[in-house]
């Protein structure tokens, strides 16, 4: 029998209980920085050192974080379903939680890429320093999609969402596009679940249920339900 397909769109809220701050909970500042200074191409051109320092700190912080119950529960779904995780998060907590198919829409903190050729991407679990270069001799930058940059992984994400038999959204404010628009690619009849600790403006989408819980308890509840369903 073919397995049903579950597609999960996750955001910063799923990693909050692992100790990683969300983006929009602190007056528009991200770890004390303006997003324009640290997460845009113009920020990079203006002050490369600041941007490198910022992501070097985020990377160090990540290395002390562990996946939580929500990450692990999503991996358990693979026993019964074909599961794809589409995440806006740049951490590796879905991987550490045991999920095997993960699309990182906004890049990965533990990778670096060439400023000359975006296809040159390297595993980089340490600091990126001025003078660290790709094989073509150009400075390396964090492998992160900054505001104003294209999101090439959307091409991989859209067909997954279109084919989903069940669609789950967890821990995202659904404010950042194009990721927030993915839910519009689901089929009408597909059951959709949205899990968030806070009340959020729900998109007008058919067959959508809201679980108003933090990620650890909300995802655990839903996974138990889905594992029991025939
Ligand atoms: P946001 O910070 O915008 O939203 C986080 C969501 O998680 C909010 O809806 C919170 O209510 C919810 N939340 C917080 N703690 C939670 C918990 N313990 N359990 C469940 N929900 C919780 O983060 P994203 O939507 O992920 O882009 O932000 C999208 C993108 O904007 C990010 O990927 C990042 C950012 O700028 C880049 O860095 C390119």
For a substitution probing ligand 1, which of 8, 10, 12 has the most ligand atoms within 8 Å of its CB? 12
Q: What is the pLDDT of residues 58-82, one digit of tens each?
A: 999 999 999 999 999 999 999 999 9
Q: What is the pLDDT of residues 140-194, one digit of tens each?
A: 999 999 999 999 999 999 999 999 999 999 999 998 999 999 999 999 999 999 9
Atom of ligand 1 nearest to the CA of 12: 26
How many Å lie between the centroid of ligand 1 and the Cα of residue 70? 15
Q: What is the pLDDT of residues 10-34, one digit of tens each?
A: 999 999 999 998 887 666 677 788 9
Angle between helix 215-228 and helix 69-76 axes, rounded to 10 deg: 20
Helix (H) or strand (E) holding 60: helix 48-62
Could you tell me the pLDDT band of residue 122, with boundaries at 50, 70 and 90?
Answer: very high
pLDDT above 70 (res 104):
yes
Q: Is residue 106 annotated as part of the catalytic site, yes or no?
A: yes
pLDDT above 80 (res 124):
yes
Answer yes or no: is the C-beta of 111 below 6 A from any ligand 1 atom.
Answer: no
Q: Share the mean pLDDT of the chain.
A: 95
Query: Which entry of 71, 104, 106, 143 is annotated as an active-site residue?
Result: 106
- Token look-up 């930058």 returns 141
How many Å lie between the centroid of ligand 1 and the Cα of residue 133? 32
Model's pTM, two decimal places?
0.96
Spatial distance between the Cα atoms of 171 and 176, rounded to a whole number of angstroms: 13
High-pLDDT (> 90) share of the chain, %: 89
Count how many Cα atoms sit within 13 Å of the Cα of residue 40 in the half-sphere of its side chain: 11
What pLDDT is stored for residue 31 in this prediction? Answer: 72
């Amino acid at each position: 029998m073919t397995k049903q397909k579950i597609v999960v769109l996750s955001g910063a809220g799923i990693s909050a209980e692992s100790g990683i701050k969300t983006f929009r909970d602190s007056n528009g500042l991200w770890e004390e920085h303006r997003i324009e200074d640290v997460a845009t191409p113009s920020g990079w051109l203006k002050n490369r050192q600041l941007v490198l320092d910022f992501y070097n700190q985020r990377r160090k912080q990540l290395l002390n974080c562990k996946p939580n119950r929500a990450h692990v529960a999503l991996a358990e779904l693979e026993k019964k379903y074909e599961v794809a995780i589409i995440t806006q998060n740049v951490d590796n907590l879905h991987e550490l939680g045991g999920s095997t198919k993960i699309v990182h829409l906004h890049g990965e903190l533990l990778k670096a890429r060439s400023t000359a050729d975006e296809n040159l991407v390297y595993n980089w679990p340490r600091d990126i320093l001025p003078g660290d270069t790709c094989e073509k001799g150009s400075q390396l930058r964090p492998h992160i999609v900054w505001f104003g940059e294209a999101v090439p992984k959307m091409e991989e994400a859209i067909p997954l969402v279109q084919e989903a038999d069940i669609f789950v959204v967890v821990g995202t404010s659904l404010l950042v596009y194009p990721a927030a628009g993915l839910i519009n690619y689901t089929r009408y009849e597909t059951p959709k679940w949205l899990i968030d600790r806070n009340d959020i403006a729900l998109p007008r989408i058919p067959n959508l249920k809201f679980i108003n819980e933090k990620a650890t308890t909300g995802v655990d509840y839903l996974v138990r339900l889905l594992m029991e369903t025939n």
